[in-house]
Structure 1
Amino acid sequence: MDPIVLAAGTALVGAMATDAWQQARSSLVELWRRVRPEQAEVVDAELGDVRAQVLAARQAGEADTEQALVADWQLRIQALLRANPAVAVELRQLLDTQLAPALSADERSRIGTLVMRAEASGSGRVYQAGRDQHITER
């Protein structure tokens, strides 16, 4: 999945639990209206329903429910991007100006993009980690 899709879906669901949600929602619906106008009203209504689910999941400590909602919106955003790949620029702007700023510092750290490449040959080894890594060799 495209990294922008992963980040946008995660940030979207995270932003649902913030005071900045209405502005982010309006911006996302407007983006949807430009790419898939026939779906915009349904998406707007569904965003309201999903926000209620996110708030309930957070109150109940149900991280699995919130993660399922993230995955669902990542798939929806991916379909939007497939319909119009040029939307990636607007989606990045929405992520950077509306969604990510609404999140806590901890939540923002989860939407960053990390690309790692490595190459080993012969008897070489590669160890890569996006966070902590502990290696014990004997």
Structure 2
Amino acid sequence: MTDPMSVLAMTGATTIVAAMATSTWESARGRVAELFRRRGEDEATAIAVQLDGDAHLVADEDDTEGVREELIRPWARRLAALLREHPEATEELRRVVEEVAAGLPRTEQHWTQNVTAHSGGTAFGTQGPGSSVHIHRHITPEEAASGDSAPGGGTSGDGSSV
């Protein structure tokens, strides 16, 4: 899916589904139904009913993100078919995506990670942009007494002490 219309359809689907069960939903729902009015009033009504049903699924499920993920592909297909039949709808769909995306609640990312190494093992863990790696190695009292603080002779690969 690399042609511009398919990419726009996927972006539109992702944005529409993200708006389900948010304060932006009513506006998004109306704009999407209006897009499909090009196929006739019955199609716009059917799309509005489908949108309502999908929004109820999102709102009622415990796994909200899982439901949203499952709904993206069918909406991408619907939007791609609409754009193939009505290429003049491209700019309107772009505007809908921009407006709906601007109204979506901003979510903060909370990251939690626990990394544990046992029995002299080493563990690394990073998450998200700008992450760095911090290496923590437990030194046993025996290693401290002997000066052997790194595996294989007390130095790291570049000759410096670890």
Q: Aligned pair 1:36/2:46, yes or no?
A: no
Corresponding residue to 1:70 among 69, 72, 87: 72
Q: Aligned pair 1:19/2:19, yes or no?
A: no
> In 2, Cα distance between the equivalents of 1:81 and 1:106?
30
Q: CA RMSD in A?
A: 2.2
Tell me, yes or no, if the aligned pair for 2:24 and 2:104 is still in contact at 8 Å. no
Tell me, yes or no, if the aligned pair for 2:24 and 2:103 is still in contact at 8 Å. yes
> In 2, Cα distance between the equivalents of 1:15 and 1:100?
8
Computing the radius of gyration from Cα coordinates, the structure with the larger value is: 2
Compare relative contact order (CA 8 Å, sep 6+) and give the higher one, 1 or 2. 1
State the percentage of identical aligned residues: 30
CA drift at 1:87: 0.9
Tell me, yes or no, if the aligned pair for 1:18 and 1:102 is still in contact at 8 Å. no
> In 2, Cα distance between the equivalents of 1:74 and 1:106?
23
Aligned residues: 107
Tell me, yes or no, if the aligned pair for 2:31 and 2:96 is still in contact at 8 Å. yes
Structure 2 residue runs of 5 or longer lacking an equivalent are: 109-127, 130-162
> In 1, Cα distance between the equivalents of 2:30 and 2:64?
27
Q: Aligned pair 1:5/2:9, yes or no?
A: yes
**TM-score under structure 1 length normalisation:** 0.68
Q: Aligned pair 1:48/2:52, yes or no?
A: yes
Tell me, yes or no, if the aligned pair for 2:12 and 2:76 is still in contact at 8 Å. yes
| Structure with higher helix content | 1
CA drift at 1:85: 1.2
**TM-score under structure 2 length normalisation:** 0.59
* Deviation beyond 6 Å, 4+ runs, structure 1: none
> In 2, Cα distance between the equivalents of 1:91 and 1:28?
8
Q: Which deviations, in whole Å up to 9, do the C-alpha atoms of 1:69-102 show, x marking residues without a partner?
A: 11111111111111111211110011112x2022
Q: Please tell me the residue identity of whatever aligns with 1:70.
A: I
Structure 1 residue runs of 5 or longer lacking an equivalent are: 108-130, 133-138
CA drift at 1:68: 1.1
